[in-house]
A and B are shown apart, each in its own frame.
Chain A
Amino acid sequence: MSLKPKLGLIEKFAEGIGLIPKLNFEDGKIEPMNDPGDLSNYPPPEKWDDWVEYEPTKWSRKIKRHYTIVPTSCFNCESGCGLLSYVDKETGEVRKFEGNPYHPASRGRICAKGPATINQIKDPDRILHPMRRVGKRGAGKWERVSWDVVLDEIAAKIRKAIKEERNNEITYHVGRPGHEGFMDRVLQAWGVDGHNSHTNVCSAGARTGFALWDGFDRKMPDFANAEFILMISAHLESGHYFNPHAQRIIESKNSGTKIAVMDIRLSNTASRADHWMATYPGTEAAVLLAMAKIILDEGLYNEAYLRNWINWAAWLEADHPKTEISFENFILKLKEEYAEYTPEFAEQESGVTTQAVVDVARQIGRAGSRFSSINWRSASSGNLGGWQIARCLQFLNVLTGSLGTKGGSLPSSWNKYSPKMPNPPPPQKYWNELHFPKEYPLAHFEMSFLLPHFLKEGRGKIDVYFTRVFNPVWTFPDGFSWIEALRDTEKIGLHAALTPTWNETAYFADYVLPMGHASERHDIISYETHAGKWIAFRQPVLREVARRNGKAVKYTYETNPGEVWEEDEFWIELSWRIDPDGSLGIRDYFISPYRPGEKMTVDEYYQYIFERVPGLPEAAEKEGLTPLDYMRRFGAFEMEKEVLELHNKVLTEQQLYESLS
């Protein structure tokens, strides 16, 4: 077969009159980069130190570019998929981002937002220096200011608040999480109950519904091994962890798994489903309960699972004290409880036909322990009582015995690794009612979107307010109430916005502090994307390139553009300045675990964590690397391939004791 590309008539003409460069196809001699037959999707890691490609912008001139390839993690959506950054060895410039095939969750496949990281780091409008407000808050006037001044001014204010026991006036409000573990440590070192988040505009509904069953506030399906999948949302294209999930769902579908989707739109997801159920918003629970009724009535439930794992005797005793306690009576009473949820009732509420409800219910029942379901936001986030939707969804998993099983839905914490950190601070002695008010004892979690109203009611004030990659004026409901709160210096004393780019909330800050994008910062990532368990590294790639070239780098900002910092180093530095003489006891938590008395470096922090990841030191040793160097080189590590059936594992006395404490 000839590899010679053919020129079209127009191309030949354009080439002839010099409109485009000579395409050089006619001689058929484009030198292949790899040996014939060596076609692969990704550069092999042994070539990452010197990978050669033709310069794409100079085509058809054949200019070779040499790259060093550094792994990192995407920082756009919550999935944190693995990226490979291609750094030009000659110019030191990051040229592009592609997928990291060694990432256990994304497996080299990424969505459009991953490669677009290059746009974000090269954005001509990005913030390169710390800025301080001039004139009234929100007036739009700014001046450049040094990091030294920023750190000293903020540290003095926090120090004063802590010394005056106004710990509840310090709040860190985060939009895109990422370095929670790190930040929780910082806040507890300061002794403040200062964590606020975006969860209650996102997943609080589903979290509550799931937690009411078993304390696990999320369920993550083993889609790869499922026989039937029910998704409430456009999960394939935009659900939580959609990229790692979508590739596994489609693999399942290709091997015969059937899919049902509840969505009001004919989304990409609905269009791939075997059953598209366009439920009227908020009626999903009625449909799910009708399915539960069918599974009960037709005996499709998993009796062994229910007998073992449901407190059916306690329920009979509480709700039906006159009934003899037996499993048969439990099923009988359960059928009575849900008798009204006929498929006809479900149709009347939701608009989904009776036949579709029956069909899907029977398929779920037949899939048994291999029934996977997902609801993260969507219906449970849109509706009053939406938490019951997630609870009813898990009801189907309970009835079919598909919790914790291969092809079922897994409690999230089974598949998420919690890093062991150096010298953890004790819990804080404060409860912040601006975050957890009395009215919402069951909330998951902080009542973040009510903050402006709480301030308006005079429930408290904030002296130092950090917003980090968080834009409530734009993203949250009722943004003008946020503007009213943010412009009021009596309610919010100091507002520092930590963000890579200007946004509608940063316009109403006192300080705007530029922080790095995905390839300009450190983080660790571990999410419940599938039945495995893994950890990944987000690292500043130019810092890593400098290290590979033997150049000593002390702080990430040395290799970042302008004066862009990363958060980890910001918090360490700020904490030292809050406690300059060590008298507050804060500094103790930012001391190197390896060099007594010295300030902890970010390298030491991650070294300490990676040395304690199960299996990582051994894997690193095989490569002749330290655990930290292993993560710098490969970007991710899978500690377990399958975590299943933990509920059937017998605990030792010690484990039982620890689980209770």
Chain B
Amino acid sequence: MVDWKWPEHRLPGYIKSHIHTDGIESEKGEFPLVPTFRLPTLIHSRSGNAKWLAEISNRNPLWMHTSDADRLGFKNDDLLRVNTEIGYFIVKVWVTESMRPGVVACSHHIGRWRRPQDPVANRWATNSVEILEIESGKWKMNVLDGIQATEGEDSDLSRIFWRDGGVHQNITHAVHPDPISGMHCWHQKVRLEKAHPGDRHGDLFVDTEQSFQVYKDWLANSRPAPGPDGLRRPLWFKRPLKPVMEKFYLK
């Protein structure tokens, strides 16, 4: 780490996260959002074509501890607007004791969509949405319909009883590249408020100019190659598809 310009991290240490309490004003409805937890019954966006799995897991409400909900006046199933750095999404809240106070969480996998012009697909798991580019870089997604029972080749299509379809939260997250590992730091600082009139569960908004700016801000914290001897990368680090040795050196 010393060789690569990070002497302060030469030993195992503690780095305060970008969502550390120092930067969270909880009285203003700010929270760290943990958006990463997986459900044992689904796999990313690839299980939308598995009807048994969609039947088991088909909602992704926002988990919130009872004490936080009481403090902010939210009730179970209230519609919330979750404001991220680059936009917002609309989601129902699930008030529970099974959650750490002061943190909210929303599961991955759910909130799949298709537009009216797209091929009919994954009907067990997709909302029907419209996507509007209000002006350059300002994107609005409105849910037109949740999941519907329907007629089709598979008679189970007519037995679909779930309607929710969830919300696509990841699309409202800015990129957070860790300057050392290159990891996308998934957690988001968010501000919660009651949904506005007209907001519908699953609706969302994003400004990509804003997301480009957040990218620039994080990029500025990196400490670029070369390292010792003009290296692009330590030779003893793994790298998929290793090129010829001379390519490891910047000219």
Interface residues of A (CB under 8 A from B): 76-77, 111-113, 115-117, 119-120, 122-126, 139-142, 175-176, 180, 184, 187-188, 193-195, 197, 200-201, 204-205, 207-209, 211-212, 215, 217, 234, 237-238, 242, 264-268, 278, 280-283, 285-286, 289, 292, 319, 337, 341, 349, 351, 377-378, 380-388, 391-392, 394-395, 426-431, 436, 438-447, 449-450, 453, 456, 469, 471, 473-481, 483-484, 500-504, 507
Contacts and interface: CB of A to CB of B under 8 A. Distances in A.
27 contacts: A193-B243, A200-B184, A201-B184, A201-B186, A237-B38, A238-B40, A264-B103, A283-B20, A286-B14, A380-B183, A385-B180, A392-B13, A429-B243, A439-B219, A442-B180, A443-B180, A456-B212, A471-B46, A474-B170, A476-B170, A476-B184, A478-B86, A479-B168, A501-B49, A503-B45, A503-B48, A507-B115
B181 A208 contact: yes
Contacts of A234: 37-38
Contacts of B13: 285, 289, 388, 392
B40 A242 contact: yes
Contact of A427 (B15, B233, B243): B243
A120 B53 CA distance: 10
Given A197-B240, A440-B177, 14 more contacts: A124-B154, A125-B119, A204-B184, A234-B38, A280-B32, A381-B36, A383-B15, A431-B248, A440-B182, A456-B212, A471-B46, A501-B122, A503-B46, A504-B113
Given A111-B40, A140-B115, A477-B170, A280 B225 contact: no
Contacts of B102: 280, 351
Given A76-B46, A289-B12, A507 B118 contact: yes
A428 B243 contact: yes
Contact of A113 (B21, B47, B121): B47
Contacts of A439: 219, 222, 224-225
B171 A478 contact: yes
A630 B80 CA distance: 56
B18 interface: yes
A315 B241 CA distance: 33
A446 B208 contact: no
B112 A474 contact: yes
A197 B241 CA distance: 11
A411 B173 CA distance: 33
A332 to B, nearest CB: 15
Nearest to A499: B46
Contacts of B178: 204-205, 384-387
A384 B122 contact: no
Contacts of B206: 478, 480
Nearest to B178: A384
B240 A446 contact: yes
B144 interface: no
A266 B237 CA distance: 36
B4 interface: yes
Contact of B238 (A111, A117, A180, A445): A445
B247 interface: yes
Nearest to A207: B181
Given A125-B121, A444-B238, A475-B44, A265 B100 contact: yes
Interface of B: 1, 4, 9-21, 32, 34, 36-53, 56, 63, 86, 97-100, 102-103, 105, 112-115, 117-123, 137, 139, 152-154, 157, 168, 170-171, 173-187, 206, 208, 211-212, 215, 219, 222, 224-227, 231-234, 236-244, 247-248, 250
Contacts of B53: 112-113, 116, 119
A255 to B, nearest CB: 24
A113 B41 contact: yes
Complex A-B, nearest 3 residue pairs according to Cβ-Cβ distance, in ascending order: A385-B15, A282-B17, A443-B182
Contacts of A447: 177, 182
Secondary structure at chain A's binding surface: helix, strand, loop or mixed?
loop
A278 B99 CA distance: 8
B49 A119 contact: yes
A445 B186 contact: no
A188 B183 contact: no
A552 B36 CA distance: 47
Nearest to B206: A480
Nearest to A198: B44
B62 to A, nearest CB: 12
A474 B171 contact: yes
A436 B239 contact: yes
Nearest to B123: A125
A478 B174 contact: yes
Nearest to B2: A318
From B44, B56, B63, name the one whose CB has the most chain A CB atoms within 10 angstroms. B44
B6 to A, nearest CB: 8
B52 A453 contact: no
B238 A238 contact: no
Given A124-B154, A453-B215, A477-B175, A112 B52 contact: yes
A444 B181 contact: yes
B122 A441 contact: no
A496 B106 CA distance: 32
Nearest to B239: A445
A140 B120 CA distance: 11
B119 A382 contact: no
Given A116-B52, A200-B183, A440-B182, A431 B14 contact: no
A471 B10 CA distance: 37
B30 to A, nearest CB: 14
A427 B119 contact: no
Contacts of B240: 180, 184, 195, 197, 445-446
B93 to A, nearest CB: 15
B234 to A, nearest CB: 7
Contacts of A445: 182, 238-240
A469 B46 contact: yes
A238 B37 contact: yes
Contact of A76 (B43, B171, B177, B211): B43
From B4, B12, B41, name the one whose CB has the most chain A CB atoms within 10 angstroms. B12
